[in-house]
Homo-oligomer: A and B are copies of this chain.
């Protein structure tokens, strides 16, 4: 069925970030809508942010276009230019290779949500703007490294 049964899709919490950065992701949950619909060329996730939570550490993608649409709540996009308030129906685009680190933050007292689309590529590197970390994705495996390529030590 092309219509996606959202209520039947697993709700994922937690984060693949190395400690202590994984703790920052409490309050985020995600459902993989695109996978549920059989799509492979891009991912589509429905992301819910509890009050006070964030979508990701501020980051940008080398190879993957990213697009999002707010569906619920009052959210804030933080990027290199500062802060931008977002309401339901607002859209943001982050072209591949644009080194403008971004994240979505819920500073409100109510739940927020957005749908995010990202290209699937064979390999990817994403860079984190506010800490000395990048992630390399090769053959489906994520490796968190310092910017100089040395292994990220969990603390």
Contacts and interface: CB of A to CB of B under 8 A. Distances in A.
Given A44-B67, A115-B69, A38 B98 contact: yes
A84 B38 CA distance: 18
A100 B2 CA distance: 9
Nearest to A84: B3
Most chain B CB inside 10 Å of its own CB: which residue of A1, A44, A93, A94: A93
Contacts of A115: 69, 91
A2 B65 contact: no
A155 to B, nearest CB: 31
Interface in A89-108: 89-96, 98, 100, 102
The 9 A-B pairs with the shortest beta carbon distances in the complex, nearest first, are: A37-B93, A38-B95, A41-B65, A4-B91, A2-B92, A41-B119, A39-B65, A3-B84, A3-B92
Interface of A: 1-4, 6, 33-34, 36-42, 44, 64-65, 67, 69, 71, 77, 79, 81, 84, 86, 89-96, 98, 100, 102, 115, 117, 119
